[in-house]
Amino acid sequence: MATKKSAAENKDTEIETSPAVDETLAQPTEEEAPKARKKGKEEKITAVEDLPGVGSKTAEKLAAAGYIDMLAVAAASPAEIAAITEIGEATCAKIINAAREQLEIGFEPASQLLEKRKKVGRVKTGSKTLDDLLGGGVQTQAITESFAAFGSGKSQLGFQLAVNATLPVEKGGLDGSVAFIDTENTFRPERIIQLADARGISQDEILSKIIIARAYNSDHQMLLVDQIEEMINNGKKIKLIVVDSITSHFRAEFMGRGTLADRQQKLNRHLHRLQRLADVYNLIVYITNQVSAKPDSFWGPSVEAIGGNVLAHAATYRMFLRKSKGTKRVAKLIDSPDLPEGEAVFQVTEKGIEDIEEE
C-alpha cells in the first residue's frame, strides 16, 4: 500500500510540474538558478522575455500592452504588470526589480550626465540663422516641435531634415536613416529628390535611406513607433524620426470635452514613447503640430497649438512658424531648457530651407 501511495504522490508531482502549466508561473530550478545569476552578472539582459520570471506568454501580454522594452517595465508598478499578465504582484515586483537592476536607473552625478550630453548630435537645417536659433541645429536626445498654420513651412522643414540627416557628420548630418510617419498624406518623394539634387545627393541613395509609413489612425500611429524600435534593434541606423503631424488623428478621433482626458492620456503615452527612443538611441524626434484659432485674442498670437499642456511639456524645443512676404518664414523659439527665446528669418525655396540673401 505504501508503494502505491508513493506512486500516486509521484504522479501528482508530475502533474504539478507538467510543461502544460503556464510557463509564466515557472520559476528557475535549483540547477538553473546559478546559470540565471551568472547570466545576470556576466551577460547584460536587454530583452524583456529574458528577465527572470518572464516566459513567452507573459512577454506577449506585456508587448501587446506596450511594454516592449526594459525601461517601460522598470518604470511600471507591480499592480500595472499584474493586471496585464494575470500573475501575482510579488512575482511582478521581482520582474520590475530585475529590470531596474539591469538598467541601473537612479541618481547619477551631474558630471556623468554632462558626458552623455557631449554625445548630442545636430542636423543642420540649411539656414544658419535658424541653426543659431536652435543652438547649432536640431538636436538628438530631444523632441523638437514646430507648430503653425498651413503653408508656414513646418512640413518643408521636416523634408529638409530628412534629407540632411543622411549626410555625413562633417556636412551637417548624422550619417543615418530616417523614419517618416505621415498622418496627413503630405509626404512627396518628388520633393525629397528635389532637395537631394540641390545638395548633390543621388536619387537612389536618398530614397533608400528614408522609410515612410502612412498612419491611418492614432493606434496605427503609435504602433509605427514600436516598429521603428524593432527596426533599430535589427540593425537599422535610424537617426531621425519625423511625425507630420503629431495631433492630426488624435484631434479627429477624440471630439468634445467628454473625450479630452482620454485623448490627452493617449497622446501623453505616445510622446513619452518618442522621447524614450530619442534618449536610448541618441536620435532626433521632429514633430509638426496643428493650430486652432483664438477668436477671443486681442493681444498676442491669434492661434494656439493643439495638444494643450501635455504636448507643451513633452516637447523639448518648441517653435512657432509664421508666413512673411513671399518665400520668407519666421521661426520663433518659445520654449527651451537651455536656449533663450528668439526669432530667425529664413526662406523656403525650390532648393529647400535657406538663408535670405542680403540685398
pLDDT tens track for 78-107: 998 999 888 899 999 999 999 888 887 778
In the three-class reduction of DSSP (H, G, I as helix; E, B as strand; rest coil), residue 157 is classed as: helix
Q: What pLDDT is recorded for position 256?
A: 83
Fold entry, domain 17-103: DNA polymerase; domain 1 (1.10.150)
Residues 86 and 73: their CA atoms lie apart, in Å, by: 15
Three cell numbers, residue 233? 534593434
Three cell numbers, residue 122? 545636430
Spans of the chain, pLDDT less than 50: 1-26, 28-41
226, 150, 222: which is closest to 186 by C-alpha?
150
Does domain 115-354 correspond to CATH entry 3.40.50.300?
yes
| CA–CA distances in Å: residue 127 to residues 147, 161, 175, 328, 344 | 18, 11, 19, 12, 9
Instruction: Tell me phi and psi for residue 240, to 5 degrees.
Output: -145, 130
29, 2, 98, 30: which is closest to 58 by C-alpha?
98
Residues 339 and 94: their CA atoms lie apart, in Å, by: 42
Q: Domain limits of the chain? A: 17-103, 115-354
Q: What pLDDT is recorded for position 36?
A: 46
Q: What pLDDT is recorded for position 46?
A: 78
Query: How many helices (H) and strands (E) are present in the chain, helices listed first?
Result: 15, 13
Provide the mean pLDDT of the chain.
86
Contact assessment for residue 291 and residue 306, using Cβ atoms and an 8 Å cutoff: yes
Name, in order, each residue with C-beta under 8 angstroms of 145's C-beta and a sequence gap of 6 or more. Answer: 246, 286, 287, 288, 289, 305, 311, 315, 317, 318, 319
